[in-house]
């Protein structure tokens, strides 16, 4: 039995079988089982916290189902990612008229022609980066701030860039109001990264690019990982995992995806 099933007592990947398969980068050894059990108890406690309004209880239940059915059941078993997805209130990152659909298995519009990614994609991209508590992470494409919030639950610091100024300002205000003190937001062209804060342990790009920006590769630490959708505009793109080694860059196609396009500024902004 997959030890991750100790986190959720009723989680299934099928009618009668617990999840038994996972990508090779998600394999956990047996030393993690005790920790998982302890976190499982903590998660159960979160769900049973008293004093919530009916709406909050409903959102908590929906979030738990989202993690169990949409994410864990599809093979994402990176523990820190699961816990972060369970604890970040996705409904706070979508417009009011989208709140009833916040935990659905879909990307949702957030205005300005942008979207908040499908929960599974958020979890998958996070887990693939293998984020650690000491990591400094760069995100390109802040959107509403949801992905940054998920990362912030796991890593030391998140630097996130959004090309649409209104979205950047709204995300910054939202993240500050919600207590995400380890996230910094900048409005600007993400193609250039954030040189003043480099190098980064990991970089996540949440918009589809025609090619991998060289400045982002340059700002990765040796041993760092980047996840980015790459492919033709308005087409199906490949989600690519980039790993920076001492003498070479490796690239691995992970899955076909659709993302909003990587938007560029008319003129390069300053770092």
Catalytic (active-site) positions: 117
Helices 54-65, 79-87: axis angle to 10 degrees equals 160
* 29: alpha, beta or left? (left if phi > 0; alpha if psi -120 to 50): beta
Under 8 Å between Cβ of 184 and 200? no
Mark out the alpha helices in 197-236 (DSSP H runs): 214-218
- Nearest alpha-carbon partner for 230 in 249, 202, 258, 268: 258
Residues in a beta bridge with 55: none
Under 8 Å between Cβ of 30 and 74? no
How far, in Å, CA of 219 to CA of 200, rounded?
6
β-pair type (136-140, 237-244): unpaired
How far, in Å, CA of 84 to CA of 61, rounded?
15
Instruction: List all residues 6 or more positions away from 267 whose beta carbon is below 8 Å from its beta carbon.
Output: none
Residues in a beta bridge with 249: 244
Under 8 Å between Cβ of 214 and 148? no
Under 8 Å between Cβ of 116 and 93? yes
Report the b/e string of 66-84 with b at 16+ CB within 10 A. Answer: bbbbbbbbebbbbbbbbbb
């Amino acid at each position: 039995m997959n030890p991750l099933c100790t986190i959720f007592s009723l989680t299934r990947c099928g009618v009668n079988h617990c999840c038994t398969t996972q990508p090779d980068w998600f394999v956990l050894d047996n030393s993690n089982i005790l920790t998982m059990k302890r976190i499982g108890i903590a998660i159960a406690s979160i769900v049973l916290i008293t004093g919530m309004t009916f709406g909050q209880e409903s959102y908590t239940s929906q979030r738990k189902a989202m993690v169990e059915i949409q994410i864990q059941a599809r093979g994402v078993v990176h523990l820190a990612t699961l816990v972060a997805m369970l604890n970040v209130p996705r409904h706070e990152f979508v417009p009011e008229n989208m709140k009833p659909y916040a935990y659905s298995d879909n990307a949702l519009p957030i205005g300005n022609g942008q979207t908040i990614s499908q929960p599974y994609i958020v979890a998958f991209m996070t887990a693939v980066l293998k984020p650690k508590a000491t990591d400094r992470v760069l995100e390109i494409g802040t959107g509403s701030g949801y992905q940054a919030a998920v990362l912030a639950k796991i890593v030391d610091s998140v630097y996130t860039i959004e090309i649409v100024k209104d979205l950047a300002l709204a995300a910054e205000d939202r993240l500050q109001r919600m207590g995400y003190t380890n996230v910094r937001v900048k409005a600007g062209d993400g193609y250039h990264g954030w040189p003043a804060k480099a190098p980064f342990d990991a970089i996540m790009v949440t918009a589809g690019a025609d090619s991998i920006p060289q400045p982002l590769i340059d700002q990765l630490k040796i041993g760092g990982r980047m996840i980015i959708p790459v492919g033709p505009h308005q087409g199906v793109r490949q989600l690519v995992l980039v790993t920076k080694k001492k003498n070479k860059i490796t690239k691995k196609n992970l899955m076909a995806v659709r993302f909003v396009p990587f938007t560029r500024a008319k003129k390069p902004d300053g770092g």
